[in-house]
Amino acid sequence: MNLLLMFTYGVSLQKWYNLGIIYREFEVYKRLVQRNLTLFIITYGDQKDLEYSSLIRPINIIPVKNIIASKFSFLQKLKSFLLPFRHRKVFRSVDIIKTNQMEGSLIACIAKLIFGKKLVIRCGWEWFRTYLSDYKIRTNKNPIKYVIRYIRMYLIEFFAYKIADGIILTNEYDIQFIVQKFGINKRKIKLIYNFIDTTLFKPLNKEKEEKSVLFIGRLTQEKNLFNLIKAFNGLDGFSLDLIGDGPLKHELEKYAKKLDANVNFLGIIANNKLPELINQHQIFVLPSFYEGNPKVLLEAMSCGAICLGSDVIGVNNIITNKKNGYLCETTSEGIREAILDISQNSDENKKISKNAREFILANCSIPSVTKKELELYEQFSKQNDRLKLKGKN
């Protein structure tokens, strides 16, 4: 079976490496290759992406940055629609085309229509629902831009979901959303959580720093970090470590300094270095206004961390309050109260830690996710075999 993975527009293996996630993202594909699947990857990087071919063997990396290069971004996007023609031999040779996210999926849709291949649309987070959620929390709202983007994104998703042979979503909320919004047949949707390397992200025999709280993620508006920092104003003895980078970094640093909050900005740290840091902290926190299926939360739970998440879509379908974690309001007061509550429940937290780890092992382990993906691909392979037999008869 031959699988072609199409990266999200603008994403490269070099970018994955710089973000410290390349080893994590390749784990499932390594196992699929071991199950006699031949993997092709179209990336938006340059020839440097070929250097990562040693991470999976056999693998065929096809960087296209030089092909679509232009001084103008809109011309680059237009040129990207020619990729099915420029690499028609590859598209003809594969059995299944899979997208990594919705943005950039139109190229895969065009290839399906031209070459008649099976198409799997995967969304680690649902693009359109996320846009609607993001607009609600923005202070600089532009109604005209909103309508234009709304129409564009709606049409792309409607088209992609309708012609897809299979759809992979990571939470039930997103499944309900696209069924209701686009009238998609639920039978072609498969729920597969984001995967976690449970052999890497696991409980370690580390002494936890007392009253220490850890956040990992992009320093962006939807992560609700101003309220998180404000929550530490008055939390005597508690410290907050922030791992990640983003457009709000300097503003957040100024805000923490203004409040005299005990906050440390640690920058980007490679994914394989995170388990040790997670295990050294008493609490992991994700106070977002909205989420999809956040890997950082799943990774922290896999480490048996006491996790605190906001009571919002994408988090409250993972955390059951006081069973495998804690839920809180998105306000600074709600976050502060929850942190204090956690710090006073040491006996109950042992059971919560165990439940968190068991949840991840049951739903998000690499063997579990690999099995579910492979089942989907084998289903398509059987369909193709039946069609070939009919053609011969």
CA distance 365 to 197: 6
What ranges do the domains of the chain cover? 2-195+366-392, 209-363
What is the per-residue pLDDT for 23? 81
The CATH number given to 209-363 is 3.40.50.2000
* Ordered alpha helix ranges (H), 12-126: 13-18, 22-34, 73-80, 83-86, 88-93, 105-115
What is the per-residue pLDDT for 17? 87
CA angle (349, 354, 359) in 5-degree steps: 120
What is the per-residue pLDDT for 295? 93
**Domain range 2-195+366-392, its CATH number among 3.40.50.2000, 3.30.1600.10, 3.40.50.300, 2.30.110.10:** 3.40.50.2000
CA angle (165, 128, 130) in 5-degree steps: 125
Q: Which two tokens stand for residue 285?
A: 């926190």
Query: Phi, psi (5° rounding) for residue 121?
Result: -95, 120
Q: Which two tokens stand for residue 83?
A: 């990729």
What is the per-residue pLDDT for 390? 59
What is the per-residue pLDDT for 55? 81
Average pLDDT per block of 10 residues along the chain, 393 residues long? 92 87 84 88 94 84 93 90 94 94 91 95 92 86 92 96 95 95 94 92 92 96 97 92 96 96 93 93 97 94 97 94 97 96 91 96 92 89 60 57
Q: In CATH terms, are 2-195+366-392 and 209-363 the same topology?
A: yes
